[in-house]
Amino acid sequence: MRIAINGMGRIGRLLFRRLAGRKDLELIAINDIMEPGNLAYLLKYDSVYGTYQHEITLENDERLLVNGQSIAVLQQSDPAKLPWKDLGVDVVLECSGKFTSRAGASTHLSVGAKKVLLSTTGAPEIPLMIYGFNQHLLTPETDIISPGGCMTNCSTHILYLMNSIGIESAHINVLHSYTSRQGIVDAPHKQFRRGRAAAESIIPVEIDLAHSLETLFPLLQGKIATVSTRVPVANGALADFTLQLKQPAAADQINQLFRTAAATEYKGIIDYTEEQLVSLDIKGNTHSCILDGTLTSVVGNHVKLITWFDNEFGYTSRMLDWLQYWKRVLG
């Protein structure tokens, strides 16, 4: 499978690191309007994940040589002008955040790509598919999919498993590291609080997570409320679920539910721990969520669950899972 990445932000660059040198998923091209020398520098040196373990060489601002592989470097702002047909691209990882509608993402198809995998929640007309939950709905004819976001991938599995007991309502607060959509100094923003200095405050921000989850769980329509609280760390997240259940459940019962799921049908996607973890311990973890059994608490029908996840590494792990799954479906 021949892969191209459009957009070399945090997710695009991490996908580059994880794809470069692989034989089964061949990264052949990347596209970003960033100056190529700066791009090569940011691929090599990363403030979260450290220095890249392989040498990266930039040739004539046109190709990157890494781990014995030559990867084309493009600087095209208009995806309609990208050479995907000439390069024989099978799948474009659309990581720019700009082409999340059907019309926008289809531009990659019009210039020769066979499939497009977004790196975010797309427009309503694009299928929302969460790996480990509804990937079986993928067909050979599906040409664009959204794998959701890191928070959706974490929350989906929690709600699905807890709904085996029965959920009346769910409040979710995701304590999330700051992102590029925040500033390091106070600045104007349509969401006033999002414009405040990211490393100086705990900042509640509006998110569309509830809408995505209600799309996946129609029976929970109107029963989910969500917020993200941005905290002054560069990586890692803690998701706080407050659930009202339809019937009483003991903490041990709930923990066993997740312990079993993590060891069987959800192995590799969710995990269970009783270690005394903090967010830094999650860096580089490949799971969509890790339920912390030491923090499960129950009062009557009210349950609080705490999960951890690496908002970048865990999410890109699911994108790689999608590529492997897509490869199997395509034969």
Please list, residue by residue across 258-282, b when 16 or more beta carbons sit within 10 angstroms of its beta carbon and e when fewer do: bbebbeeebeebbbbbeeebebeeb
Vertex 244 angle, CA 240 and 246, to 5°: 145
Query: What is the Cα gyration radius of the chain?
Result: 20
Cα(110)–Cα(300) distance, integer angstroms: 56
Cα(157)–Cα(69) distance, integer angstroms: 37
Helix (H) or strand (E) holding 259: helix 251-263
- How, if at all, do strands 297-299 and 302-309 pair? antiparallel
Report helix, strand or coil for 168: strand
Q: Give 246's contacts (C-beta < 8 A, 6+ positions apart).
A: 165, 166, 167, 168, 301
Cα(317)–Cα(158) distance, integer angstroms: 18
Residues marked as catalytic: 150
Q: Give 2's contacts (C-beta < 8 A, 6+ positions apart).
A: 26, 28, 87, 88, 89, 90, 91
